[in-house]
Chain A
């Protein structure tokens, strides 16, 4: 199954930035929702770190609804408009590299051999799902944004701090892909 071409998908994603700005003066960024969700947890204010003590409804309800919309879009895209048994259309080099790591099941959007409830019981699967999730949550807030906030909004607004953050994203990602995964799975 070939994906929607990059020159269609990219501009459509990019247009979300002016749409949010023109509609409500909002800046595109999704990881702030992790903070809003933590702030919204039913825990007394005294038990929360100061960073999570704010009015999440006025600051972040719009963004949480935006994220809920993404979940609906994901449902439509995966359940209605995708063929779950079709291959991704990955490059041959990537398929070969995955085979070296023992990843042979290339169906679906995530490798079931590594990222699934069953794989959570293995050290590799636990590190990837739980460790990966933890680092995403920790790092996105530390860096003040994620791929949407820095790599799209920030770069588009020519913000130098965002360029530094994006370089960091790639340093971390390259380290995992070229050193950690082969050690973990090889």
Chain B
């Protein structure tokens, strides 16, 4: 029963028909990692006006930190890829360490969300491709090429746009075109 329901959901999306392996429903493959059982509630609560205000404030704080730490600077990204400063590595490293420690504490203490739901991160799937992990390294390299050319990834792109670097509007439209193209070619790409 559950199994057939899951299969139905898989075939419902643009899943890769080649692999019969059980993969999370297509919408979970990306960054929405909330455990499937918790999704309905998390989705409903997440759209309440007060919750949205909190997400907006968190985003504003993050955008401000991005700017003041110069993470949004094309020059800093260039410098990072030339290994000529520790700055970006220190930021990424200490961000990962802080986040990892936080996740460890959350798991260790069994903390819940403010709504009382258990917090679970679902594992990222390797996918059923003949080339193991193809989406991660092929997609990763593709992203890296764009990251160094533009000097901005999706977060900083938005921060620059907000700060009036209006040419980032062209970059954003190009990024949306890239996403749409990916969506169109998805079934033909190794994952």
Contacts and interface: CB of A to CB of B under 8 A. Distances in A.
Contacts, number: 578
A37 interface: yes
Contacts of A171: 137, 140-141, 144
Interface of B: 13-14, 26-27, 29-34, 38, 42-47, 51-52, 54-82, 84-100, 102-103, 105-106, 111, 113-115, 117, 119-121, 123-126, 133, 135-155, 157-167, 170-184, 186, 189, 191
Given A14-B96, A161-B133, 16 more contacts: A3-B69, A9-B71, A9-B95, A10-B93, A13-B91, A35-B183, A51-B183, A66-B59, A69-B61, A70-B63, A90-B75, A120-B170, A139-B141, A140-B139, A142-B142, A173-B147
Nearest to B138: A142
Interface of A: 3-4, 6-35, 37-38, 48-52, 54, 57-63, 65-79, 81-82, 88-91, 93-94, 97-98, 106, 108-111, 114-117, 119-120, 127-159, 161-162, 164-178, 180-181
B94 A72 contact: no
A59 to B, nearest CB: 6
A42 B119 CA distance: 34
B136 A161 contact: yes
A79 B164 contact: yes
A38 B176 contact: yes
Nearest to A14: B98
A87 to B, nearest CB: 9
A97 B145 CA distance: 19
Majority DSSP secondary structure for residues of A touching B = helix
A58 B172 CA distance: 23
Contacts of B177: 133-134, 137
Given A18-B103, A31-B31, A73-B63, A10 B91 contact: yes
B174 A133 contact: yes
A13 B95 contact: yes
A88 B70 CA distance: 8
